[in-house]
Amino acid sequence: MSSPGQLAYEADRLVVNGDWTLPNYARLKKEVFAALASQKSGGQSPDLTAIEALDTAGASLLADLLGAKRLVELTDEESGLPTERRDLLRLVGEALSSPNEELPRRGSAVVAFLAQVGRQVADYWAQQRLLMGFTGQILATLGAILPTPWRWRMTSLVAHIHQTGLNALPIVALLTFLVGAVVAFLGATVLDQFGATIYTVNLVAFSFLREFGVLLAAILLAGRTASAFTAQLGSMKANEEIDALRTFGLSPIELLVIPRVLAMVISLPILTFVGMISGIIGGSVVCLTVLDISIPQIINILENDVGPIHFLVGLGKAPVFAFVIAVIGCLEGFKASGSAESVGEHTTSAVVQSIFMVILLDSIAAIFFMEMGW
């Protein structure tokens, strides 16, 4: 029959015996406190061989009595304890000896927020450095193959122009037409208060020639084509097709990236022109049907009041936006790992980064052209 656990002293040596289990926890805790108060727990190595039963509650009391590190040391010595009891004491001693290392320290919410912002800024800067390096590699490869026409991938180029340009024409034309109508409605609502609804034509023409035509087309291609580039290249990397190209001594930049970048640079100005025309037509339809502005009046305003500089400003931004969108889409495709989850994450990242860069560059261009007076 088991006996309740207790502490005894034989020749100034601490002897632990009995059952050190949860039912005896309250009484044993008092004995441990008394031993700690009388400072009789130190000295020679305690004798643990007389323990008849032990669980984690009793082991935690022994850790309080002897110290967690000392309890771990005792399990390493020839203590004569059974293997399972020695493992239990070691487990409890190690858990109690380093609680601060396992539990993370809770800091200030402000510090955590600033740390998160810092990490995001560092990640963004690393991404921009990688983007600049990838852009340099593309330009170097492009400069190397331009003087050698037999290395041009015309079939791939035409196929990508068809995919990125021709297939996107309907959605670009429809979207810009509807946005043009909305801009005309809003402009007419405001200008009607001043009796100047005739200037709705100027508003629609200026907005689509300078901003909306190229911006809407670029955002559509960022969501439609940049994601397609990332998914295609990411899938090829997952299937080890890109590694196979390198094995054959072929350049993935030359074969896969250059045709996509050139196709985007050719397609986006065309889509921008279509977007400008569709947006102006959409606004003109509203002016014609709602504001009773005749077609000759609309044509006269476009001829006399809207200069070609606005068309050139909008069209000039298209190749830059196209190059940035294509580079980001291809880079994210190369960064994807072999899993489908990674391909999906980098596809999303390509769309977000492309739209962000397009709006950022458009803002910088707007400030520049305003300062130049164009």
Q: What's the distance, Cα to Cα, between the start and end of the chain in Å? A: 100
Q: Distances from the Cα of 269 to the Cαs of 156, 275, 281, 316, in angstroms?
A: 19, 10, 18, 8
pLDDT tens per residue, range 303-328: 888 888 888 988 999 999 999 999 99
What are the structural domains, with CATH classification, of the chain? 6-102 (3.30.750), 138-372 (no CATH)
Q: Provide the mean pLDDT of the chain.
A: 82
| C-alpha to C-alpha distance for 261 and 321, rounded to whole angstroms | 11
pLDDT tens per residue, range 49-93: 767 777 777 777 777 777 777 777 777 655 567 777 777 777 777
**Any idea how long the chain is?**
374
Name every residue whose Cβ is closer than 8 Å to that of residue 26 and which is 6 or more positions away in sequence: none
Q: Where are the beta strands (DSSP E) in 11-125?
A: 13-20, 47-54
Sign of CA dihedral 171, 174, 178, 183: positive
What's the token pair of residue 184? 């005309």
Place of tokens 């180029």: 157
319 burial via Cβ count (<10 Å: 0-12, 13-18, 19+): middle
| Range with the poorest average pLDDT among 58-72, 178-192, 245-259, 298-312 | 58-72
State pTM to two decimals.
0.68
pLDDT tens per residue, range 103-152: 556 667 888 888 889 998 998 888 888 888 888 888 888 888 888 888 88
